[in-house]
Amino acid sequence: MESPAPTAGVAIPRIDARRPDSAAAIERLRRNLAPDGNVVSEAGRRKTMEVFGEPLSPVEVVDRICDDVRSRGLGAVLEYTAKLDGARMSADSLRVKPEELAEAHAGADPELLATVRRVRDNLMRFQTAILHKDVRVEIPGGGYLRQRYLPLERAGLCVPGGAAAYPSTLLMTAVPAQAAGVKELAVVAPPTAYGSYNADLLAVCHELGVTEVYRMGGAQAVAALAYGCEGVPRVDKIVGPGNLFVALAKRRVFGEAGIDSIAGPSEVIVVADETTPPEYVAADLIAQAEHSPGSAVLITWHEPLVERVAEQLQEQLAELDRSELTRHSLEAFGALITVEGREHAARLCDELATEHLHLACSDPEEMLGRVRCAGAVFLGPHSPVPVGDYAAGPSHVLPTGATARFANGLSSNDFLRSNSVIAFTADTLAAERDDIVRLATVEGLTGHARAVTIRGAKGTTDGHG
């Protein structure tokens, strides 16, 4: 059952998952932030009418933009950048000049650059440690099988810049790609004070050795990366977060280029009990909700904690810079959920398959063994989600909208492509011949069978072994 919290000021929903009538409320919570493309604000509707002259859905908007960029190239990119972002760019000004990157770096706070270097080292250490390695399997008869991994040649990195600047996202996308050995990185960020005009973001680009930065965002930037246009060579893969239109555009261009995921707004579930300080829980929920939108959910089997967390939310919101936006996120996309116990909590965590899962309860390692589906898991009271957002080593680009049931967080391995290598000798082929021929014959593919049997026919030669 779902009901508003009685605590004044923050009407965050409460759900008692022990009751049989709670299923509908939990399902609404699960689907609330899924990037299905059906929800648009009134301001968004007005902008759509202004630009396109008709009430298109977000999916239709993205289809229109992507088709236009594919057919008209740079002209369409510049046109949509002017209409949607209010920035009049030219072919010459679209790409950030090297001297702008160098100037931003020279004027950057030395402490910021020192922080960037330390975080880069953390990321590189982890991302190189998990990198896939080639595998070779020897087989009887002298042949071998091999799985080899090669870096992509070129990747596109989407960095948001609407409501805040995100140099951390640049780190979390560029460093895994560099760990994999990607040669060319193309960064796109909207032409805003928080995006590609942000001096800190440009300084971090220069510090990381990223020299290709474009002042464009939204669906037109994704389309430009996927299809290529004048001055913007197409990429092999597009990664990084963005708004609904970026997510839908990534889905639209998949097949022309690879993508990491179709990500929606950010999420956290905090699993807590009587050992968890309520002020920690409230701070963790607020940290995610201030993304606005951001989903922040408490799951607990310790019923008194719900009221204590609600009180802490009210107290801490009063001291927050983005309190109204955060309050709206908590009320629209948050919940305080009571469950029967640890096993019930684990089942619910897997059902919601959240982006960030903070196991802040007692014996978090034991709880980890019960849970399978999450983008990233944070264990214990001293592992809040911002540790992963900014410094730890795994990328903070993670699956959202319950897609952690089948999707992974971004890592260096996403910038690798693999292929298998099969090297048979005459003896190996002879040993496998009957099985291959039998299966090919059953399938009616006699040409396949003959391609094998001809190599054992009298008078033929074997050029391998």
Q: Which of 212, 290, 355, 358 is catalytic?
A: 355
Which tokens hold the place of 261?
Answer: 């995921």
Is 344 annotated in the active site? no
Q: How far is CA 86 from CA 56, 89, 193, 217, in A?
A: 20, 9, 12, 12
Which tokens hold the place of 291?
Answer: 């993304």
Q: Which of 356, 365, 382, 396 is catalytic?
A: 356
**Three-state SS across 224-247?**
HHHHCECCECCCCEEECCCCHHHH
192: three-class secondary structure by DSSP: coil
DSSP state of 171: H
Q: Is the dihedral of CA 200, 205, 209, 214 positive or negative?
A: negative
> 183 exposed, middle or buried (CB, 10 Å; 0-12, 13-18, 19+)?
exposed
DSSP state of 289: H
Q: Nearest-CA neighbor of 271 among 184, 333, 180, 363?
A: 363
Instruction: Let me know: does 306 contact 17? Beta carbons within 8 Å.
Output: no
Is 132 annotated in the active site? no
One-character DSSP codes across 390-448: HTSSS-S----TTGGGT-----GGGGEEEEEEEE--HHHHHHHHHHHHHHHHHTT-HHH
Active site residues: 355-356
